[in-house]
Amino acid sequence: MTWPLILHLGDRIPSDLGDPLFTVWLLGRNAQALEEGSSIGQANIFYPHHNTAYYGDILPVETALAWPVGRLTGNFVLAYNLLWLLSFFLCAAGMFALVRHLARSWTAALLSGVIFAFCVYHFAHLAHLELLFFGWIPLCFLFLHKFFDSLAWKDLVAAALFTLLQVGSCAYYGEFLTVFAAVFFIYFIIQKRLYRERRFWLRAGVVAAASAAALAWYFLPYLRLHQAMHFVRPMWEVEQFSAQVQHFLAVPPGTFLWGRLLGKLGGPETQVYPGLAAVFLALAWWLTRPRPPSVRPADRKKRRLFRLWDGLNIVWLAAVLAIGLSGGFQFALAGLKISARHADRPFLFLLLSLALRIFLDRELRRRWKNSWIALMPAERLYGLLLILAWVLCLGPVIRVFDRKLGPGLYGLLYNWLPGFKALRVPARFAVLLMLTLAVLAGWGLARLEAGLRGGARRTALTAGLVLLVLVE
């Protein structure tokens, strides 16, 4: 998937010559500063300003990983490329470990690892080394699951360690992970009633205090400098770098399968297409969930009307996508002019139709409620995290084809949580979206495999889905 970089590890750079060469310089300069005992923030750029390395992410974890290779060979291009390749293995291995623990299936874990490591989001950011290092997140989640099962010190310390590694690899993902880890904690504290457990509060408090001290040491130089320089991302810039609804179909233009059709839907920061395999298996997870008995016998005539309504909604969705992809259309039929220039109003009508459809179908709501209750606690958590990640990707204002639909949740983070005013790309929450999708896809494959007889069929299914992910 990265050919032919392996033939040019010491003399070529993947992607362009902008951010990658800046990162090569940063890794080498950080190593030199550490060897000399000088301040890592005092970079030889933007003279006569001080601590200018803190204008961006200083990448302490990548520096520590690159240092041995860079110093032994004298070639930080080689060190950069090895880290670049490592990012794929780290993401795959982290997700493999998480899904192996949750789904108890090595084939499901294998597919989830491939989905997470080789998603479109990963390939849309090939020029940003720090944005490729999100493999610590599933490892953090893995040990959080183990901690809430055992309340053991070692599991909570491991989760905190991987959180710190993620913060030190990419400040963006460190901020995002903190939000999702907080949701994780709140959910399981309530679900397991740990608010009554003194042992839990003691261990969580000690590890939280130690982690906060480490994070304060890391972030204080940033905060001082950014306050002095008045570094704040304005809201209009945050909105510009938020995903829109159609961007969940956007891929890099050079993508083999969909590049010509979907390559113009979004730029590199908003190419967040999740992939057919991930979506298909997440739907399989939901559709194969435990089915509670119906509360009351279904009315056949009503069911037929609702199925017809569902079909019309699908047709309307296809029309909205066609309008958005083509830029609209206009034609005359028997003297009547028919036109659709923008997709925002048809999209709003679609949302209203779906909302009304769900509101009127009491039987559907009962089934969903009972099915939700029948899910395992971890499954409910990842279902909630999936919705949260998707909404946060959309930024402070939810838009489709540049038309505003309403406010988003990201504005709350921007206004109330420290650090978020320095971030400009809410669409990068797609990394958490892909994490939750990969986990749900693992559960979906595990359930599909349970219905297949014979190892050959299960292997063929997994191999076919892996191939689909890589081809996409």
pLDDT per residue as tens digits for the range 44-69: 899 999 999 999 999 999 999 999 99
What mean pLDDT do residues 169-186 have?
A: 94
pLDDT of residue 347: 77
Question: In this structure, are strands 397-400 and 336-340 parallel, antiparallel, or unpaired?
Answer: unpaired
* Per-residue confidence (pLDDT) for residue 451, from 0 to 100: 81
How is the chain split into domains, by residue range? 5-289+375-471, 300-368
Looking at residue 333, its pLDDT comes to: 63
Average pLDDT over residues 352-366: 85
- Please list, in sequence order, all residues whose beta carbon lies within 8 angstroms of the beta carbon of residue 378, skipping any fewer than 6 positions away: 102, 145
pLDDT score recorded for residue 144:
97
pLDDT one-digit tens code per residue, 401-437: 888 877 899 999 999 998 899 999 999 999 999 999 9
pLDDT in the model for residue 455 = 81
Range list of β-strands (E), 396-455: 397-400, 403-407
366 touches 374 (CB < 8 A): no
- % residues pLDDT > 70 (the chain): 94
pLDDT at 293 (0 to 100): 59
Of 79-83, 448-452, 454-458, highest mean pLDDT: 79-83
Q: Which residues of 36-57 are buried (b: 16+ CB within 10 A; e: fewer)?
A: eeeebbebeeeeeeebbbbbeb
pLDDT tens-place string over residues 320-348: 777 766 666 666 666 666 666 666 677 78
For residues 419 and 396, what is the distance between their CA atoms, to the nearest angstrom? 16
What does the pLDDT read at residue 332?
67
Report pLDDT for 129. 95
Tokens of 310: 């569902």
Q: What is the mean pLDDT of the chain?
A: 90
Alpha-carbon gap, residue 313 to 168, rounded angstroms: 45
What value does the mean pLDDT take over residues 90-110?
A: 96
